[in-house]
Amino acid sequence: MNRRPLRFPGLLSLPGLVLAAKLSDPALAAVRDWLAPLLVALSLALAIVLFRYCARFRPLFVLAWLAAAGLAGQTLYASWSVRNAVLQAAQREPARLAALGQHLIIGYATPDDVRELVRHGLIGGLFVTRRNIAGKTATQLREELAGLQAIRRDAGLPPLMIATDQEGGPVSRLSPIAPYQPPLSSLAGRPDAKRLAATYGRMQAEHLVRLGINVNFSPVVDLKPNRPPSPFDRYTRIADRAIDANPDTVSRIALAYSQALVEAGVTPTLKHFPGLGDARDDTHLRSAHLSTPAEQLAARDWLPFRHVLERTPAMLMVGHATLDAIDPSRPASLSRPVLNGLLRKHWQYDGILIGDDMTMAAVYDRGLCRASLEALEAGQDLLLVAYDWTKYYVVMDCLHRADAAGRLPDLSESRRRLQNPPWRRSVVSPAESRT
């Protein structure tokens, strides 16, 4: 029998093994549900075939495919196990899990994914993005979100934060359900930019409120970089999203826009502190360092942040770039000297701090459990688990174990801020928004 053709599946065992080892990575979130069981089945089948028919390197190839099947199976088991652990803990200790849940904002795929989490207070809010509008009309999305809020209300719990990324321009996650608008940068240089920004904000907020959205992760107040984009920047693309390179221009447009959102019942979120304009790397994919001196940042990049925060109840999203001038050892989002020292004590900011997505590589690669605890210890009020939302269970399990062991940081001040957040001060029902 000619056994040479079987070398190909044998040689594929190494990439198969690597793929199986990476299945839990957020980069594979979109395909993990079907890829993991497929890889288990395929690996076992190839191991059996190679064991029977392959002569050369048979033990090596067979063991590699068996290892791939084991790793893929472990991913499936770990996902089920941690989810089960969280849901069982919620049955035993509902108050403890609900107290932790208010610090978590998560993405989701379908309402069925999160209905029980909403009902039992195991999350503080939801992040709505492009996958949530696929194949839906505005009416369908509005009814979906209203239904989840009704579950919350019937359970005697506070309304959910329901957030989105509707910056305008390239980041318009709810378009076309919410009308597409050009980027705010299109207003820079206009003599009536302030008036236009307010009109822009009112129009955007009107559609968001109608859908049931009460928080927008916008505006971007990072300064536009004065250099060509890095070829390694695949997702952040601050040059395409920033309003302008002039901090005064950014301050005026961002303030008028933010005030318009607030007046309409939508809480704005300034991002991405400490400013990504000078960062070269993409924190979605790797660590990034911001090496600009603090004095220069304070005199330029931080002016729009302070200008808007002092005049609105906006939240502040902290990015994952490392601010070398203050804490070169960890991302700004996980840094106590940055969050508690600079923002809380020096700036006297007492609003809500939320970090960028915890499934981005710059923090995820540190270990999701470790990063989550560091974020709360540093002073984050809300942890965002958006892209790979199933990692919510890993974070919640981690927080619950730390709390049970007495290792959770003191969250009393954070919980005070979350008692009456800005998005609950002007909750507009879908019915009211249509009048």
The H helix count followed by the E strand count for the chain is 19, 12
> Nearest 5°: phi and psi at 30?
-70, -20
> In angstroms, rounded to a whole number, what is the distance separating the alpha carbons of residues 290 and 280?
8
CB atoms within 10 A of CB 230: 16
Residues 222, 233, 282, 356: which is the catalytic one? 356
Characterize the bridge pairing of strands 289-290 and 383-385.
unpaired
CA distance 429 to 149: 10
Q: Are 84 and 397 in contact (CB under 8 A)?
A: no
Q: What three-state secondary structure class fits 227?
A: coil
> At residue 393, what is the residue type?
Y
Q: Annotated catalytic residue: which of 120, 284, 307, 320?
A: 284
Angle 388-392-398 (CA atoms, 0-180°, nearest 5)?
A: 130
Q: Which two tokens stand for residue 58?
A: 């048979």
State whether residue 314 is helix, strand or coil.
coil
For this structure, is 120 an active site residue? no
Distance CA 75, CA 19 (A): 12
The amino acid at 164: T
Q: What sign results for the dihedral spanned by CA atoms 106, 112, 113, 115? A: positive
Is residue 307 part of the annotated active site? The answer reads no
Active site residues: 284, 356
